Amino acid sequence: MTHKPLVLSGMQPTNTLHLGNYLGALKNWVKLQNEMPCLFCVVDMHAITTDAGYGKPEELAQATREVTAAYIAGGVDAHRTPIFNQGQVPEHGELAWVLNCVARLGWMDRMTQFKEKSGKHKERASVGLYTYPVLMAADILVYKATHVPVGEDQKQHLELARDIAQKFNNDFGVPDFFPQPEPVITGTATRVMSLRDGTKKMSKSDESDLSRINLTDDADSIVGKIRRAKTDPNPLPDSKEGLAGRPEAENLLNIYAALADQERDAVIAQFAGQQFSGFKHALADLTVAKLEPMAKEMRRLLADPGEIDRILKSGARKARDIATPVMDEVKKRVGFIA
């Protein structure tokens, strides 16, 4: 049996979103929306697995609204594509429990992100952080989603979701009940690196705000951050081979190409042999031109939180229409009396 194509993805509402979230994820979601039905959630239940979101109710709610505003300002059409927060769709948690019983400890112990996030003091990490990948599997499988746009760092979690889906199907004698969700690697997704260190991913957890461009930054701070971005002393190369060992040059050229919707080779040709100062000017202009309308739209949306909450509620209703029959079937298969 083939499953109907359906895309699901989500971002955590922790801190503000940055250029890496836009070019690496959101921009591609917006494209996918024209190719297949999509669901985009704000994963507030994942956000409480660590101190970033745990015990901070106001901040969490505000961050959830900000991510929602970013989805919309970035181009997700809430009329076509449900946007909702995970905490408002109880089926995520319900399925996660069942899947916790499907997943094996041995599988979970292999999850590298848990090891990174829990650090030296694993015994102090929340149980939620440990079982985070199972909740992520539930996010996907509760809709029988077939396609999941994720970054490199989430591939292992998606593989776990596939293993869990398969084991459920086998153990309960329902071949093809859950699909095997596929990662979506869009050719245009850009891995945006830190402006201070071209070998590190641009990240919301980097202490230095100069390392990233936030989607809500105003024009002055965008220009300032690009002007101060780390570079090397050489002029820009005239071929992609010339980028070897020059991660900062590569990162800035990648950002330019992604924002301009151009091939990187074309951008390299355009700036070949030029000094960074001139290129940075052009990059700053382009970044401001692309991000400013988005930031403005985010501010407009955030000025009316009631409207954002209504969008989330309506998205959650549509999401539940898909999730409820799947969850009913799961309960029946497992043997829960309805």
Q: What residues are annotated to the active site?
A: 117, 201, 204
Out of 6, 7, 12, 330, the only residue in the binding site for ligand TRP (CB under 6 A) is 12
Cβ distance to ligand TRP smaller for residue 158 or 288: 158
Residue 22: Cβ-neighbour burial (10 angstroms; 0-12, 13-18, 19+): buried
Give yes or no for residue 150 binding ligand TRP (CB under 6 A).
yes
How far apart are alpha carbons 133 and 118 in whole angstroms?
Answer: 14
Minimum Å gap between C-beta 113 and ligand TRP is 8
Minimum Å gap between C-beta 95 and ligand TRP is 12
Which of 333, 324, 286 minimizes the C-alpha distance to 92? 324
DSSP, collapsed to helix, strand or coil, labels residue 125 as coil
Q: Per-residue DSSP letters for 245-291?
A: T-HHHHHHHHHHHHHHT--HHHHHHHHTT--HHHHHHHHHHHHHHHH
Give yes or no for residue 251 binding ligand TRP (CB under 6 A).
no
Out of 44, 66, 91, 139, the only residue in the binding site for ligand TRP (CB under 6 A) is 139
What angle (nearest 5°) sits at the alpha carbon of residue 190, between those of residues 246 and 200? 50
Piece in contact with ligand TRP (CB under 6 A), picked from 3-11, 29-37, 250-258, 259-267: 3-11
Give yes or no for residue 27 binding ligand TRP (CB under 6 A).
no
Give yes or no for residue 154 binding ligand TRP (CB under 6 A).
yes
Q: What is the DSSP letter of 235?
A: P
> How far is CA 214 from each of CA 66, 267, 307, 313, rounded to the nearest angstrom?
12, 23, 23, 27
Give yes or no for residue 91 binding ligand TRP (CB under 6 A).
no
Piece in contact with ligand TRP (CB under 6 A), picked from 132-140, 251-259, 297-305, 310-318: 132-140
Give yes or no for residue 134 binding ligand TRP (CB under 6 A).
no
Sign of torsion over alpha carbons 84, 142, 317, 337: negative
> How far is CA 10 from each of CA 13, 84, 85, rounded to the nearest angstrom?
10, 10, 9
Cβ distance to ligand TRP smaller for residue 111 or 150: 150
Say how far residue 333 (Cα) sits from the centre of its chain.
32
Out of 32, 102, 136, 223, the only residue in the binding site for ligand TRP (CB under 6 A) is 136
Number of residues lying near ligand TRP (CB under 6 A): 12
Give yes or no for residue 68 binding ligand TRP (CB under 6 A).
no
* Residue ranges in contact with ligand TRP by CB under 6 A: 8-10, 12, 43, 46, 136, 139-140, 148, 150, 154
